[in-house]
Structure 1
Amino acid sequence: MQQAQSAIILLAHGSRDPLWRRPIEAVCARIQSDQPHRAVRCAYLELCTPDLASAVGELADGTTQITIVPLFLGTGRHAREDLPRMVEELARAFPHLRLHLQTPVGEDERMVALMAHIASETTHEATIR
């Protein structure tokens, strides 16, 4: 199967708990459903596989551009220091690819608004007394 020219990697921190991956994989499935022509992969910084380098390597053949989307709420050390360095190393390893590192999703005003909306909803389901 030929891969798309443009791909997305959803990058998350990682966890040993397999249930932790569900929301990340749900975002991936949603993109695949909405944009079946676009290749989408999940990748993790640690504690799960694949790592970022493996995901880029998997997409490198037949893909010309990869957008790396950090699924982090804030710009901590990983997003500020580690990720740009990793992407630079990958750009050298895969010179035919254009790699774009997005700002972490939690820094996007739309996500801030959505989280505020969700937090403000009144619900009685999870009330603890």
Structure 2
Amino acid sequence: MDHTSPHFGVILLGHGSRDPLWRAPMEAVQAQMARTHPQLLCCCAYLEYTEPALEQAADALVAQGVRQLRITPMFLGTGKHAREDIPQLVAALEARHPGVAVEVQPSVGEDARVTALLADIATQPPL
């Protein structure tokens, strides 16, 4: 997928929470992406308790012309949601939008860069 294409979009997919403050870190990632890649269409979506749901977020991006969609699970590990729920939701998205190529990345916590950063944060004094 070409992240420089005007038809490329990213959904940052989180668990969701009843606490509205929980969203702030994920929305900060989205804001950083908007600053560094202003042409990129990106939004947050949530599995439960918080809107928009994945389907709503995908519908919005497709309505803006996205034809290549990357879903980035914002989880530290691959639990039940990543193993079972996300594949089912993605299958439904692919059926709903047959002309859209959907790619699901591994959970961000499985990326060695994130592991190294978290280890560094845990061993350094707070900013």
TM-score, with normalisation over the residues of structure 1?
Answer: 0.91
Aligned CA-pair RMSD: 1.4
TM-score by length of 2: 0.92
Percentage of matched positions with identical amino acids: 46
Question: Which residue of 98, 117, 121 corresponds with 1:118?
Answer: 121
- Mark the runs of 5 or more structure 2 residues left unpaired by the alignment: 1-5
Q: Does 1:73 align with 2:76?
A: yes
Q: Which amino acid aligns with 1:6?
A: F
Equivalent residues, number:
122
AA in 2 matched with 1:38: L
Question: What aligned pairs does 1:43-122 form with structure 2 within 5 A after superposition?
Answer: 43-61=45-63, 62-122=65-125
Partner Cα separation in structure 1 for residue 55 and residue 67 of structure 2: 16
Aligned to 2:41: 39
CA shift for structure 1 position 122: 3.2
CA distance in 2, matches of 1:122, 1:10: 29
Question: Aligned partners of 1:122, 1:24: CA distance in 2, in Å?
Answer: 23
Q: Please identify the structure whose Cα radius of gyration is greater.
A: 1
Partner SS state of residue 7, structure 1: strand
Structure-1 residue corresponding to 2:3? none
CA separation in 1, counterparts of 2:59 and 2:120?
38
Partner Cα distance (2:8, 2:68) in 1: 5
Q: Distance in 2 between matches of 1:122 and 1:72?
A: 24
The CA distance in 1 between the partners of 2:125 and 2:60, in whole Å, is 44
